[in-house]
Amino acid sequence: MLAYYVCAIYGIDRLPENLSLAIFLPLLFLIFILRLPFMDIPRIRSAGYSPWLLLLGLIPGVGFILQILLFVIPPDDTW
């Protein structure tokens, strides 16, 4: 059931036949975790805040609100 939910979120019709769920979900988790240093940290620095603030994103519900705030806060043009 979880596999169908994850596939629906990422727009995947079905799991690839040669890729089992035991490999597929950790790969999605790895992609999600790699987003942090390459996308979120530069964005939060451009907004003028400390990257340590991203640790709040690990709290359920707060991470969603933090992403919305990073989307609407304009970048700081001081550098």
Name the DSSP letter for residue 12.
-
| CA 21/CA 76 separation, integer angstroms | 42
Q: In whole angstroms, give the CA distance from residue 52 to residue 41.
A: 9
Helices in 1-79 by DSSP H: which ranges? 2-9, 21-35, 41-46, 62-72
Per-residue pLDDT of the chain (79 residues; tens, 9 = 90+): 566 666 666 666 666 665 676 777 787 778 777 777 788 888 888 888 888 888 888 788 888 888 888 888 888 775 5
Measure the CA angle with vertex 73, ends 67 and 76; round to 5°. Answer: 125
User: What pTM was estimated for this model as a whole?
Assistant: 0.53
Domain chopping of the chain, boundaries: 2-72
Q: Residue 63 is which amino acid?
A: G
**8, amino acid identity:** A
